Structure 1
């Protein structure tokens, strides 16, 4: 399998998840309880080498760390969430280093020190699947969005943190997922089917370290 095929496969595997858990609706819907060292419902997806995910104590908090050395593998949680009830995705993250000299809108530069996917499954027609990738970009300003270099119609990238956000401590984020899907795809989305995280450097052959805190959906 060549590099192009591997990266298309990588995107399709993340996009092609089927919801295997019941619909979750509440004021707060937990997705990743990393502070409790819980990975029971998260499944690994390995594409090119294995990114190492491990729990680590940072002060009083436990986080999930990721170390990628020219590798690309992620963790996927299949969970159906009603965005009408809980449209806001909340998470915290940090990076130890950015990836220099990458054009992140190209296939050769499609690497990120940290990213969080939200996926709408296309069912039997995987090409109808859609994903928003919230990324900590290395060379793109925050707020900028673009189509994934391998599957631009199916996966949209959104830089939440960017080139001027230097490595720092854990940073909390909140995104209105329903609004982001509407803006990026031009369609209304009520349900999402999966959430994934990934730290990957397979295209650039570089190294990146990141940490992820708890992930949950909320009503406000």
Structure 2
């Protein structure tokens, strides 16, 4: 597999990042036609469709493959610090995997945000929000490949909600401070990945309604 996450982060940080502005304190990044793909071990199949309500859905299927789908853009967290999304899975990767080791770095669904390190590319950092097979919701750990520069964060776990849309809302500035003990004012990209190359797993997930928004008047993030 190689340094799967490290390569994904490098892809997001290497090219020119275009600044985008939020309209009405909301930035919808579910414009998947403007996203790109980076392959690590053949390709996860990413397909864009719309449902009966004309909601755009990104479907991902892997048969022992790994590739990331990503969007490079400068996201102003002083305006829109809250990230929300929905995802749905059929089943997690095998619960027997050690997700904290290189041999078990497979997740049916992950959404991750990236902050570049400028010319010091090795300082590029990322938070990976994952649907874990075995880690409890709220658990955090360093990525097996990228080390302390990439925090894995379980926000869904197990198969009790398999087959159902599950919504999440995260305050990126707060999470970044918890993960890295530092403040952040912008991001340089966002990505999703469904990968099964370490365990040769067949996995599938759907992603929808990825957007950045302002906080509520009480300082909380809106629920998606």
Same fold (TM over 0.5): yes
Residue 48 (1) aligns with residue 46 (2): no
Contact 2:9-2:114 at 8 Å conserved across structures = no
**Deviations along 1:106-128, whole A, 9 cap, x unmatched?**
10000100000100011221111
Equivalenced residue count is 212
Structure 1 counterpart of 2:169:
174
Per the TM alignment, residue 15 of structure 1 is displaced from its structure 2 partner at its CA by 5.4
Per the TM alignment, residue 132 of structure 1 is displaced from its structure 2 partner at its CA by 0.4
Contact 1:42-1:76 at 8 Å conserved across structures = yes
Structure 1 counterpart of 2:222:
none
Contact 1:84-1:190 at 8 Å conserved across structures = yes
1:78-89 mapped onto 2 (5 Å cutoff): 78-89=72-83
Contact 2:50-2:57 at 8 Å conserved across structures = yes
Residue 106 (1) aligns with residue 104 (2): no
Per the TM alignment, residue 173 of structure 1 is displaced from its structure 2 partner at its CA by 1.0
Q: Distance in 2 between matches of 1:189 and 1:46?
A: 29
Structure 2 counterpart of 1:10:
7
**Deviations along 1:62-83, whole A, 9 cap, x unmatched?**
4111001110101110111111
Q: Counterpart of 2:4 in 1: which secondary structure?
A: helix
Contact 1:17-1:78 at 8 Å conserved across structures = no
Per the TM alignment, residue 16 of structure 1 is displaced from its structure 2 partner at its CA by 2.9
- Stretch of structure 1 that moved more, 117-126 or 186-195: 117-126
Contact 1:73-1:198 at 8 Å conserved across structures = yes
Residue 131 (1) aligns with residue 129 (2): no
Residue 155 (1) aligns with residue 153 (2): no
Q: Distance in 2 between matches of 1:176 and 1:106?
A: 27
Contact 1:44-1:76 at 8 Å conserved across structures = yes
Structure 1 counterpart of 2:63:
69
Q: Distance in 1 between matches of 2:27 and 2:5?
A: 31
What is the TM-score of this pair, normalised by structure 1? Answer: 0.89
**Deviations along 1:163-197, whole A, 9 cap, x unmatched?**
26431321221000010000000100111000001
- Stretch of structure 1 that moved more, 103-112 or 5-14: 5-14
Q: Do the aligned partners of residues 82 and 199 (structure 1) sit closer, same or farther apart at CA in structure 2, a change above 3 Å counting?
A: same
Per the TM alignment, residue 58 of structure 1 is displaced from its structure 2 partner at its CA by 4.3
Q: Counterpart of 1:213 in 2: which secondary structure?
A: strand
Unaligned 5+ segments in structure 1 are 34-38
Structure 1 counterpart of 2:86:
92
Structure 2 counterpart of 1:29:
27
Q: Distance in 2 between matches of 1:209 and 1:145?
A: 23
Q: Counterpart of 1:24 in 2: which secondary structure?
A: coil
Per the TM alignment, residue 99 of structure 1 is displaced from its structure 2 partner at its CA by 1.0
Contact 1:111-1:200 at 8 Å conserved across structures = yes
